Structure 1
Amino acid sequence: MGDFNLALVIVAIIVCVLVFVFNVYLLVNYQHPDDANQAYFPKFVVVLGLSVAAISILMLPADVANRQACQHAIYNGACNLTLPMKDLWLAIYILDAVLVFFIIPFAMFYYEGDQDKSVGKRIKSALLWVITTAIVCGLVLGILYGLVGKVDFTVRHLSSATTAFPSTWGFSSSQQCIGGSSAHQCSAYIASASSETTWTMRSTFPEYVVALATIVGSVLFAIFGGVGIACLPLGLIFSFIRRPKAVITRSQYIKEATELGKKARELKKAADALHQEERGGNKGRKWRKNVKAVEKVHFDFGK
């Protein structure tokens, strides 16, 4: 039993490390060349988010294997020596919620802010937005927890009479209760339908957060997953319909290439002029406007 638990812990650690390394490989392989060796914080957030998403899926087989570790134990308390899966489930889902509502928005607000501002001002602006988001989320969670943070269980209310200890017991399939033939409320099989009642209890706040995150995630996955599945074949069909159907002649090719070369030289000249102005410290409103215009021309040129 102990060997199995130790092996499960080792496998869990190895899998977590492999998931993290694989996500780092994905980030390095598919990142834009201009983002190399910079913006490490959002990259860490991306890797952490992908790792948490993958681990939350791999938690299910880990939970099954963890239950098998104490299924055939011959002593009480064997399951207490296995992995604390309930705590791990709560930690994963709460970390997921923190990423979605706090860490990822902070990274977006910080790196999408005005690049001309100082680092301190960008952090301050991002923190203000995140604090506002936290207040709204806290109010929503608190109000919903007070209103619907309860769990209802349908149970049967069973009771039994008391009697002196007899010398013989007159129980049968039709009479399973103490008190004679009129007593039928101690057995769930023969109790009347009126014995059903609702047992209401308030869930703990972490479990409530996990349940709410699961519901919201399932709804969003159903919406965006359905839209993605529907749009994928449509995108492929439209790509096939809009494919190039004609081959231009050599003279047309030379003409188009000449015009593209002329536009490329003009674009490079404008970019060099902006670089010179940037090195000279002239970064006013006109310079930013020209930068946006050059970026737009560059984007249109790349189509």
Structure 2
Amino acid sequence: MGDFNLALVIVAIILCVIVFVFNVYLLVNYQHPDDKNQAYFPKFVVVLGLSVAAISILMLPADVANRQACRHAIYNGACNLTLPMKDMWLAIYILDAVLVFFIIPFAMFYYEGDQDKSVGKRIRSALLWVVVTAIVCALVLGILYGLVGKVDFTVRHLSSSTTSFPSSWSFSSSQECISGSHQCSAYSASDSSEKTWTMRTTFPEYVVALATIVGSVLFTIFGGVGIACLPLGLIFSFVRRPKAVITRSQYIKEATELGKKAKELKKAADALHQEERSGSKGRKWRKNVKAVEKELLQLEEDVKLLEEVYPQGEKAETTWAMTVLGYLAKLVLGILGLIVSVAWIAHIIIYLLISPPLSPFLNEVFIKLDDIWGLLGTVAFAFFCFYLLLAVIAGAMMLGMKLVFITIHPMKWGATLMNSFLFNVGLILLCSISVIQFCSTAFAYYAQATAAQEIFGHTLQSLRGIRYLYKYNVFQIAFIVLAGLTFVYYAAFGWRRKKPSGRFQLSS
């Protein structure tokens, strides 16, 4: 038993190192050339935030594996070298909250500060903004906690009269009582015996609960969209792929048009910089800035598409072959992702929305996989949880590019500024708590008796004013509806091939 737990500790340490190295790799390859060899504090925050988000998702399967390590023990304390999961969850939540509400905003304010100011002045300015934000958040949380910071537990008063000890036992589905006495008031208590037990929750629990609600709203929107757009985006990317290389004359024609558009954008950007220096930054200026940013992103996509259909250099044929293989890989990954997405949606409907559940479904699959090999079900469980986080990221990227009223800092390979990195890391951290809560609820049968289920159990789902969101499955229903709408959107428009955009003009 001790050897198995020791192996679990070793695996956890190795995974943490792998996650850290992978996040450093993402930072190095996604960062903008202007941020190289500088902005070290925002970069540290980005790597730390991404690591916390990934580790928090992987902690749920680690919690399950930790529980299984003690399944043959009379009590959990009888095991040696088990992970202190409750303390680890608490540490992760505290670190997550500090990053989202304090460190990441401070890093963004510091990074976006006036470069002409000294480091000390930029730090003071960033601290001032963070302190003001913290005071406002503290006031809001304090008022809400004072007014509705209570939990309402529905309890049923059970009682039963006594009966003589029987000489024989006879139980059946039709008669659960002892012998024929029918003294089973505790079993057949009426609904009128239900009462509401009210108590005030602790302030940290209330803060975690509100953060989970905010994250749940974002998770429902981004996750519902992403669970569909993640696999379908890959599949339709293959459908819209370039079938063959274009001729040199076609390339020159398209490149000339893109060059004209690039000149227009540069001219527009220079005009906006001049307006900014003159201090005339009104609503029209901000609107034009967003228009320029949007057209710049579109121009980059057009250039990338043009480079794909007309590879150049000595290894042009090899480049084209790699492009074809890349699209084939997208097709394979898209099909596998579609299977996982459909399984997720079916599981939510079968296990969460229908009462009583029709089947444990994926819970049973994980259990059977564990019977084949000790950690196989845990690995599959970790994959499904991590896939949900990837769906959230995919949904955030899609909505940021498609909807006017939501602004998401775009992530571009080799062209992502640190403020965009920090914004997306904060979004991922905020959603990661809700992903954990959602997974612990969706896989409650498999993840039973874990520290996570204790944290996300009755306290969160019994908070006054909030419990109805869980009682009527508001988040799950909205998740399914958004996933269905996204499937319909891709079925109607996903097959259309992107074309280079036309001429660009600012609003006057």
Q: How high is the TM-score relative to the length of structure 2?
A: 0.43
| Superposed CA offset, 1:201-228 (max 9, x none) | 3333333222222221121122244566
| Superposed CA offset, 1:230-267 (max 9, x none) | 88899999999999999999999999999999999999
- Cα 1:207–1:71, aligned 2, differ >3 Å: closer, same or farther? farther
- Cα 1:203–1:258, aligned 2, differ >3 Å: closer, same or farther? closer
| Superposed CA offset, 1:46-67 (max 9, x none) | 1111111111110110110111
Comparing 242-251 with 16-25, which one deviates more in the overlay?
242-251
- Cα 1:300–1:256, aligned 2, differ >3 Å: closer, same or farther? farther
Between the aligned partners of 1:142 and 1:277, the Cα distance in structure 2 is 42
Gaps of 5+ in 1: none
Comparing 5-14 with 185-194, which one deviates more in the overlay?
185-194
- Report the alpha carbon displacement of residue 145 of structure 1 after superposing the two structures with TM: 2.2
Instruction: Give the SS at the match of 1:155.
Output: strand
CA RMSD of aligned residues (A): 7.1
Between the aligned partners of 2:56 and 2:24, the Cα distance in structure 1 is 18
Contact 1:162 1:179 in 2 (8 A): no
- Report the alpha carbon displacement of residue 178 of structure 1 after superposing the two structures with TM: 12
Between the aligned partners of 2:249 and 2:172, the Cα distance in structure 1 is 102
Matches within 5 A, 1:1-303: 1-74=1-74, 77-78=77-78, 82-159=82-159, 187-226=185-224
Between the aligned partners of 2:175 and 2:252, the Cα distance in structure 1 is 100
Comparing 142-151 with 210-219, which one deviates more in the overlay?
142-151
Comparing 81-90 with 47-56, which one deviates more in the overlay?
81-90
| Superposed CA offset, 1:145-186 (max 9, x none) | 223332222221124568999999999999999999xx9997
Comparing 13-22 with 70-79, which one deviates more in the overlay?
70-79
- Aligned residues: percent identity? 90
Between the aligned partners of 2:41 and 2:125, the Cα distance in structure 1 is 17
- Report the alpha carbon displacement of residue 200 of structure 1 after superposing the two structures with TM: 2.3
Contact 2:110 2:123 in 1 (8 A): yes
Between the aligned partners of 1:219 and 1:288, the Cα distance in structure 2 is 28
Contact 2:110 2:122 in 1 (8 A): yes
Between the aligned partners of 1:103 and 1:219, the Cα distance in structure 2 is 22
| Superposed CA offset, 1:21-48 (max 9, x none) | 1101111122122322111100011111
Instruction: Give the SS at the match of 1:154.
Output: strand
Between the aligned partners of 2:274 and 2:143, the Cα distance in structure 1 is 56
Between the aligned partners of 1:185 and 1:156, the Cα distance in structure 2 is 18
- Cα 1:256–1:15, aligned 2, differ >3 Å: closer, same or farther? closer
Gaps of 5+ in 2: 295-502
Comparing 274-283 with 46-55, which one deviates more in the overlay?
274-283
Higher relative CO (Cα under 8 Å, sequence separation at least 6) belongs to 2
Between the aligned partners of 1:164 and 1:284, the Cα distance in structure 2 is 86
| Superposed CA offset, 1:79-130 (max 9, x none) | 6963221222222122112111111110110110111111111111100000
Between the aligned partners of 2:146 and 2:274, the Cα distance in structure 1 is 61
- Report the alpha carbon displacement of residue 195 of structure 1 after superposing the two structures with TM: 1.6
Comparing 205-214 with 13-22, which one deviates more in the overlay?
205-214
Instruction: Give the SS at the match of 1:77.
Output: helix
Comparing 208-217 with 126-135, which one deviates more in the overlay?
208-217
Comparing 208-217 with 64-73, which one deviates more in the overlay?
208-217
- Cα 1:158–1:236, aligned 2, differ >3 Å: closer, same or farther? closer
Between the aligned partners of 1:87 and 1:66, the Cα distance in structure 2 is 13
Contact 2:275 2:281 in 1 (8 A): yes
Between the aligned partners of 1:244 and 1:179, the Cα distance in structure 2 is 78
Between the aligned partners of 2:115 and 2:72, the Cα distance in structure 1 is 61
Contact 1:110 1:122 in 2 (8 A): yes
- Cα 1:110–1:190, aligned 2, differ >3 Å: closer, same or farther? same
Contact 1:149 1:208 in 2 (8 A): yes
Instruction: Give the SS at the match of 2:151.
Output: strand
Contact 1:8 1:66 in 2 (8 A): yes
Contact 1:19 1:54 in 2 (8 A): yes
Between the aligned partners of 1:171 and 1:248, the Cα distance in structure 2 is 79
Contact 2:166 2:179 in 1 (8 A): no
